[in-house]
Structures are given as C-alpha cells and as structure tokens.
Amino acid sequence: MIRMLGRTASGLFWMMRYLERVENTARLVDAGFRMSLTRARTMRSEWESVLSTAGTIDAFREKYDHFNTPNVVAFMIADKENPGSLYRSLAAARENARMTRTAITKDVWEAINDAWLELRFAFEASDDLTDLPNLLARIRQHTALVRGSINGTMLRNDIFRFVMLGALIERADNTARILDTKYYVLLPSSASVGSSLDQVQWEMILRSASAERSFHWLHGGDISPISIVNFLIHDVRLPRSIAYCYDEIVATLADLEVEYQVRKPCHDLAAEHEAHITNSTSEWIIGSGLHEFLIDFIARNARLAEMIETDYRFHA
Amino acid sequence: MADGSTNFDEMLGFGGEVRTPYAEYHELLTKIDPTKLKQKSRDAEAFFRRTGITFNVYGDSEADERLIPFDLLPRIISAKEWSRLTRGIEQRVKALNAFLHDIYHRQEILRAGRIPQRLITDNQAFLPQMVGVNPPGNIYTHIVGTDLVRTGPDEFFVLEDNARTPSGVSYMLENRETMLKMFPELFSQVGVQSVGDYPALLRKSLAASAPSTCAGKPTIAVLTPGIHNSAYFEHAFLADQMGVELVEGHDLRVVDGRVAMRTTCGYEPVDVIYRRVDDEYLDPLNFNPESMLGVPGIFDIYRAGGITITNAPGTGISDDKALYSYMPDIVEFYTGQAPLLKNVETWRCSEPDSLAYVLDHLSELVVKEVHGSGGYGMLVGPAASKAEIEAFKAKLTANPANYIAQPTLALSTVPILTDAGLAPRHVDLRPFVLVSPNCIDVVPGGLTRVAMKEGSLVVNSSQGGGTKDTWVLRDD
C-alpha cells in the first residue's frame, strides 16, 4: 500500500488551518464589531486588540492612521494585501484544496469551492457595515458546511487525520491568542476585587471563542478570571479549549501511529505538551503570569506543527 | 437556419433536411420547451463552475479561472461514420509510432529520401538524447488526440495529430456527465455509446506500458506543472478518476536508481509517469537547467529502462506542422497502404514556389507557425484586415520556414443555442486514442470544439471557443 504524498498531507493540513483561521477571524471581527457598537469610547483599543490577536497590527499601522471600524473591517475582510484577511485566508484554503483535490471527496471540494465563489464577491461589498453581521454569519455557515461534509463523507484514514491536525493546531493557537490579547482583564489584581472584572471585556473573550452560551450554561453567575481561564484552557467539554485540542491532537497522532506503524518525534512532543497543559492549574497560571504561559504555549504549538511537517515529509 | 449554401451542417446537411444520425434527436428536441432549454443552459454553467471545471488563461493579469462555454446541443456521429474514422485514426497512430521509432534509430525514411533531412535535424522538437533509446513496448505516443474537421458528408480531414500532449479529454467526460444530468430522458431514447470507461482504459493502457523491470502491479502517477497550469483541472481529474497519485516535480527524486515520490512515510518508487510537463522542463540535468518543474536525473533512469514516461520524450516532433504536410508519405512508408484519412492541402512556405503562392493568396489562406499551438500566432486570411495581412506578410517573408499555409476550409457546422434560438456554428472534432503494447483503443466520442461567434473558424478555447458533447450512435 502506497502512502499519500507528503505534499498532499501538507495541502490537507494547511487547507484546514486556513479554513479554521477564516472562521476564527470572522468570529473575532464579529466580537470587535459588537464592542465598537456598544462602547464607542474604547473603540480604538478594542480594534487594536482584534488586530493584535490576528497578528496583523503592524501591517495595519503601515497602511492606516486610525483604528476606526471602516478601516479595520476593510483591512481584515477584503484586503488582498493583508495575508491575515478573510479574503486571503479563504483563497489559501481553496488553493490548498485544489492542490489536494484527488485526496478530498467531491462534497468537500464543492463545499470549499462554493464558499469561495460566493464569499469572494461578498467580501468586496463588505464596506457596507449594516450588512456586516450578516456577512460574518454567512462565513460561519460556509465553514460549518465544509466541516460537515468532511465529517460526513471522508474516509477515516490518514487523509482525515491530517485534516484534523490542521484544524486542531490552528484552533489551539487562536484560542491562546484570543486569551492573550485580553490577559490584562484577567490579572489577579483586577480579579481580587471581583466586581471590577469588566463584563463586556470577558464577554468579548467568550464570544470570540464562540463560548459565551456554553459558559453561562455551565457556570451560571460564577464569573471570575479563574473560571474563564479554566474554561478556555482546561475544560475538555469545550471544543475550542486548548485542552480539548490537545486531547484530540494526541488521539489523532496515535491513530496515525497505528495506521503507519511508526512512532515519530511529534508523538512525544504532543504528549509532553498535553501533560504540560494538564499540570498547569488555572490558579498557577494566573498566579505566575497568564501572558507568559500563553506566549510559551503559542511557541510550543508552533514547534509541534513544525515537527509534524518534518516527520511526515511535507517538504522536500 | 440552414443557409443551404457553402457549409455542410451536421444536423441539416447542405439542403436543410434533417440527416439520419440526427433524426431521433431532432424529433425529441422539437418537443423541449425553449425556455426550459435556456434554463438548463444556465444550470449547466453553474454545475461547471461549482465542480471547478475551469482553465487558466495565459497572459491574463490575475491568471483568472475561466469556464469554457458549453453548448447543450450534441454533435452526433453515426456508427458507420465512426468506424470509418477509427480505422483511419488507428492507421495514422501506428504510422506515427513507427515514424518516431525510425527517426530516433535508423532513419530509414530519410535515407529513402521521403522527407527532407533538415525537417528532422533542424527541428527544435527533435531530441538528440533520444537517439537509440528504446521506450518500453517501443511506443512513443501513448495518448493521442487527433484533430479532425469535416466539410461534407464523406469529407473528413486530419488537421493536426496532437501526438505530444493532447488535452481536453476531461471535457469529453464532464460534458457527457452534464448532459446525462440535464437530459436523462434523451439517453434512454437515443442509443449513444458510452465514453465513461476512458479513465479505466487509460489506467490499463499505462499499466501495460510499464517497464519490463517492474514486477507486480505498477505504480502510476500523473505529473503536473502545478495548480497554475491552464490544464490543472484535467490533470487532477484524470489522476482522481484513475485512482493514481497526482505529483509535481518536487515530489519526485531519483533514489537508488529509481524515480520515487515523497510520501508521508518516505520515498516510494514509481513505474509509469503520465507527464503533462513539456520535454524541455522534464529534467534540469538533461534539458533546460532552469526548470523547476522537472525531476533531476529522471531522463537517465528512463534511458536505463527504469521508468516509463508517457508520452515519450521527443514525441513532440511529430506535431510539427511542416512534418504534418508529409503525413500521407509517412503513413504510406510505414504501413504500405494509402492513407485512409486525408490531410488538409498544405503549402510549405520554406519552398520558394509555395511561398510565392501563399504571399499572393494571403487573404484566402490560413497561415500557421510550424511549432505553434492553441491558435496563437496564426493568420486567418478571410477574417483579417488589410493591415493585419501586411504585418503578417513581413513576418512571413522574414522567416518563411517558420510557416505553413492551408486553404480556409468550409468547416462543418452544428447548431448551438443562442439568445435568438438555434444557429449554426463551425466545429472540429478531437477523438482520443490510447496506444498500449497490445492494442489501440479509440473511445467512441471525443471533444467537439465549437466557435461560438457567428462565422468564426477558430474553435480554440484560448480564443473563446466552446465545447459540445459528442455522441457516437450505437447503430444506424
């Protein structure tokens, strides 16, 4: 039995990373847009934190002087020069899908191609801010369709596993970034008083992770930095938590180990990271520095991604 | 609709009366509501876009993906016409393979003085590296797309042999898929031969051409220049339909004397490569050193018999348009028979008498570059302005050997659906041929290309041409 090409594995992995990024960016812009509507006073800093979460703040500063809604929306949605824009991420997802067409099902290809054909023009009309929430909702619908067709039509073999790994690595990274740009809200100093925890701020965090409803469902009125950090980092019931992602990464890599009959260095590294997450309690994380923990995690996650790329011959 | 004058219409002949192959279809067609037909035409377009059946146009600023216009009215060929065509095609393809073997070995045809030496030795497409090389099964062109045109009920001509890298077979298959979706009822009433087993035949044919060193089931791969190539859709489509890998040059490497592809678990040897990369880019060590698309050293493995490359390197010489004019001699020389299919009358501008004639008759002729393809760089005399003809005259006299000229043929027409109803448009036909050591298969169908503009004779998709489904009937 001949294994798939390393380039194909790379295409599948990146197709899904970009698709996940599309979804997360759409959510992030949505959360930022809500903030800008409800709190005109701090609008600038809210958009700044959206851009730094997306890792595009420097590129934005080169292009614009003002952190206002029209600028940020134009930059994050339709800007073809911004590698972090929805346009560019979706184009990259589709390009990778085209490259791996022989590995994905017709349904998956058509779902991605449909998303591209419909959204690319919608992006160009995104300067109409009244339609923005609608556009962002359509993006989430399209990504949900792609995910659904992946789940519903793809064989559970190595192809599927590289797709999953791409989604999980990207999602863990995005959740860590969302938390990190708001880490100051969750500092022990602001938490000690209890009442000073800014309700709108933490709602933005939860909304960016599509977790606000689940959080209320699970925690009722108990809102504290510990409970939010615990939810987004440690709660394996939340599919966007870092612990959930790492549980799934370890399980997916284990499936690959069985399928290929080879254990690779990335298996040990993933296990090590998983243990590191489990062993770092939320109390300890907040006590010793949430920002430091997250920066360290983002670097670890990137190292794991690189190791997967090396171990499975993504590149010549 | 039928102007009844110069052009032969495949549905209405010269006289406007429905021809036999179209009889059943025509009757069914008249029962379809025209607005419904238009709706189906839009549905078909949406289907093509959604499936991603697109091509990239070279020279376009953003390398945009375009759709090739698809027309819903089929081009219909009777079983009798088809069997006549296939006999002619098989004869021609056999002769081509014998010719290619000969010019890379003893060159008997040159010794016999049947074609001029310089046409081979001065030809850029002649690969000296192939001299003395024996490709597996002695086959050079495995996959052929013979371009035919028609001017009357019994008048078929070969326009080009396309023995190098014919493209378009994915359109033959997707056009049929689309028609089956749009008009299932037609297929239950008109007996149309299936084209659907082409990918299986291609796979079988490639496997049968595996090198003799290959034990067991051969590993096959399609080699593409990548997603920005104009025919990428077809490369991916064929790999997918055959269930083989689609590789790019940087996926391959020579490992332990074999060509191998980089998989997630290391390098795995490949036995047969269906390449859609030109000779020049195949191997930077043996050909163009700048090439990023090829595989360093692959040609050495090929010479040693370690891999089959289809079509064989050096095959492109037979697509030369000056050589084309010698095809009747070539067919006769190698098969000992008169050619079953006619060539289009061709003037070689390298010959002074011909050049003089061509210069005098530019406004009536089609002039083509001998190495050209895709409809680029040609002059269609009757459609050209005075200034264009003058400009072309200068190019032609500067380098006559670079051109051939042919009469402007009254290509047959087939109706297409336009906003104003049915209207005749000129067509050609590209059947697809597969050659393996034990047989030649011609799939009953092909790609019918159609000039979408009224009166236009240029059917190339790069110049705005469209396609039609091609039906070969089961019996007459």
Note whether A5 contacts B247, CB cutoff 8 Å: yes
| A117 exposure class (CB count in 10 Å sphere: 0-12, 13-18, 19+) | middle
Interface contact A258, partner B, CB < 8 A: no
Task: Find, among A80, A28, A30, A83, the residue nearest to A51 by Cα.
Answer: A28
Question: Chain B residue closest to A98 (CA)?
Answer: B227
Residue A195: what pLDDT?
44
Residue A42: what pLDDT?
67
Note whether B251 contacts A312, CB cutoff 8 Å: no
Residue A193: what pLDDT?
43
The nearest CA of chain B is from the CA of A6 a distance in Å of 5
Residue B4: what pLDDT?
43
* Site of tokens 């090590």: A272
Residue A191 has pLDDT above 60, yes or no: no
For residue B256, the one-letter residue type is: D
Stretches where chain B sits below pLDDT 50 are 1-4, 59-63
Q: Give the whole-angstrom CA distance, residue A262 versus residue B266.
A: 12
Other Cβ atoms closer than 10 A to B194:
14
- What pLDDT band is residue A236 in, cutting at 50, 70 and 90? very high
Count of H helices and E strands in chain A? 16, 0
The nearest CA of chain A is from the CA of B300 a distance in Å of 21
Stated pTM of the model: 0.89
Note whether B264 contacts A98, CB cutoff 8 Å: no
Q: Which residue has the higher pLDDT, A46 or B204?
A: B204
Residue B60: what pLDDT?
45
Note whether A316 contacts B266, CB cutoff 8 Å: no
Interface contact B262, partner A, CB < 8 A: yes
The DSSP output letter for A231 is I
Q: What integer is the mean pLDDT of A273-302?
A: 95
Residues of B in contact with A9 (CB under 8 A): 264
Tokens representing B403? 């051109």
**Alpha carbon of A53 to those of A49, A130, A175, A181, B144: distances in Å?**
6, 24, 9, 6, 55
Could you report the per-residue pLDDT of B139-153, keeping only the tens digit for each? 999 999 999 999 999
Question: Chain A residue closest to B261 (CA)?
Answer: A5
Tokens representing B171? 């359109």
The nearest CA of chain A is from the CA of B340 a distance in Å of 40
**Contacts of residue A96, Cβ cutoff 8 Å, sequence gap at least 6:** A11, A12, A14, A15, A18
For residue A39, the one-letter residue type is: R
Could you report the per-residue pLDDT of B233-261, keeping only the tens digit for each? 999 999 999 999 999 999 999 999 999 99
Residue A181: what pLDDT?
79
Could you report the per-residue pLDDT of B283-310, keeping only the tens digit for each? 999 888 888 889 999 999 999 999 999 9
Q: Give the whole-angstrom CA distance, residue A248 versus residue A244.
A: 6
The helix or strand, by DSSP H or E, that contains position A99, with its residue range, turns out to be helix A86-99
Question: Chain B residue closest to A4 (CA)?
Answer: B263
Interface contact A101, partner B, CB < 8 A: yes
Residue A136 has pLDDT above 50, yes or no: yes
Could you report the per-residue pLDDT of B177-200, keeping only the tens digit for each? 999 999 999 999 999 999 999 999
The nearest CA of chain B is from the CA of A47 a distance in Å of 32
Q: Give the whole-angstrom CA distance, residue B50 versus residue B385.
A: 40
Interface contact A12, partner B, CB < 8 A: no
Handedness of CA B315, B318, B321, B323 (dihedral sign): positive
Note whether A2 contacts B219, CB cutoff 8 Å: yes
Interface contact A109, partner B, CB < 8 A: yes
Other Cβ atoms closer than 10 A to B382:
12
Note whether A101 contacts B245, CB cutoff 8 Å: no
Residue A132: what pLDDT?
92
Question: Which of B52, B248, B253 is nearest residue A109 as measured by Cβ atoms?
Answer: B52
The DSSP output letter for B363 is G
Task: Find, among B41, B123, B55, the residue nearest to B326 by Cα.
Answer: B123
- What pLDDT band is residue A41 in, cutting at 50, 70 and 90? low
Task: Find, among A251, A170, A238, the residue nearest to A209 by Cα.
Answer: A238
- Give backbone dihedrals phi and psi of B94, rounded to 5 degrees, phi first: -60, -45
Other Cβ atoms closer than 10 A to A255:
15
Residues of B in contact with A102 (CB under 8 A): 236, 239-240, 245-246
For residue A124, the one-letter residue type is: E
- What pLDDT band is residue A49 in, cutting at 50, 70 and 90? confident
Note whether B232 contacts A316, CB cutoff 8 Å: no
Interface contact A80, partner B, CB < 8 A: no
Question: Which of B219, B250, B264 is nearest residue A316 as measured by Cβ atoms?
Answer: B250
Per-position b or e across B438-463, b if 16+ CB within 10 A of its CB: eebbbbbbbbbbbbbeeebbbbebbe
Interface contact B124, partner A, CB < 8 A: no
Domain architecture of chain B: domains with CATH: 20-211+307-342+409-472 (no CATH), 345-407 (3.30.1490.270)
Note whether A98 contacts B245, CB cutoff 8 Å: no
Q: What is the SS3 assignment for B152? A: strand
